[in-house]
Homo-oligomer: A and B are copies of this chain.
Amino acid sequence: MSTVELTPTSYVVLGLLALGGPATSYDLKQLVAGTVGHFWSFPHTQLYTEPRRLAALGLVDEEQEEGGRRRRTYTLTAAGRRELEAWLAEPVAGELEIRDVGLLQLFLHTGDDPASIARLAEVQAEAHRATLATYEEMAAAAEASGAPDTPQTAALRLGLAIERAYVTFWDDLG
């Protein structure tokens, strides 16, 4: 039974520690940038404050080095792992939110400014093409490595599908 109240951010931290082992805040920042950050990002400062909150809750261990940068390394505790696994075991119903300013801009247009919409479509198509290219590289690298399929590569496939839909959409609109 889990009583503590955790946010998605908390689970990202717990999950990354579970997947990648002990890490400093900076390590987490790097990890996030290359993985979840592609679809669920947050500023680096949260990766400094959130682990400390989790440490206070006993879900991670915090160990600070003595000399040099005195950086803190975080390790998942047994309690933290339990908390994470309990959350993962129970599918959350939460609705999908697409925080896409470009889509919002499209939506809030009246129909009487086609030029503005065309400009928007062009910018967006380009941006999504770039993202798509990144994902395709990531997928190619994963495939080339010969590693087996993982939840993370599965998630990447969804990213690819979505970005392809986006590129098609904005291209058609432009």
**Which residues in A have some Cβ–Cβ distance to B below 8 Å?**
8, 11-12, 14-16, 18-19, 35-36, 39-41, 84, 87-89, 91-111, 113, 116-117, 119-120, 123-124, 127-128, 131, 148, 150-152, 154-155, 157-158, 161-162, 164-166, 168-169, 173
List 26 interface pairs A-B (beta carbons < 8 Å), by A numbering.
A12-B104, A12-B108, A14-B108, A15-B107, A18-B108, A18-B110, A19-B108, A19-B110, A41-B95, A87-B105, A88-B108, A88-B109, A88-B113, A89-B116, A89-B119, A91-B105, A93-B123, A96-B131, A98-B98, A99-B99, A106-B154, A106-B155, A110-B151, A117-B151, A158-B169, A161-B168
Quote the shortest CB–CB distance from A30 to chain B (angstroms).
16
Q: Which of B103, B116, B151 interacts with A39 by CB under 8 Å?
A: B103
Chain B residues with CB below 8 A from A154, complex form: 106, 173
- In the complex, which residue of chain B has the Cβ closest to the Cβ of A128? B96
Inter-chain CA distance A88–B117, complex, in Å, is 9
Inter-chain CA distance A97–B166, complex, in Å, is 13
Most-contacted residue by chain B among A18, A119, A158 (CB, 10 A)? A158
Inter-chain CA distance A93–B130, complex, in Å, is 12
Q: Which of B88, B89, B101 interacts with A8 by CB under 8 Å?
A: B101
Quote the shortest CB–CB distance from A21 to chain B (angstroms).
12
Inter-chain CA distance A42–B116, complex, in Å, is 27
CB <8 Å contact, A99 and B96: yes
Q: A19-B108, A158-B165, A162-B162 are in contact. List 13 more A-B contacts (CB 8 A).
A: A18-B108, A40-B97, A88-B105, A88-B109, A94-B102, A96-B102, A96-B131, A97-B98, A99-B99, A110-B151, A111-B151, A154-B173, A158-B166
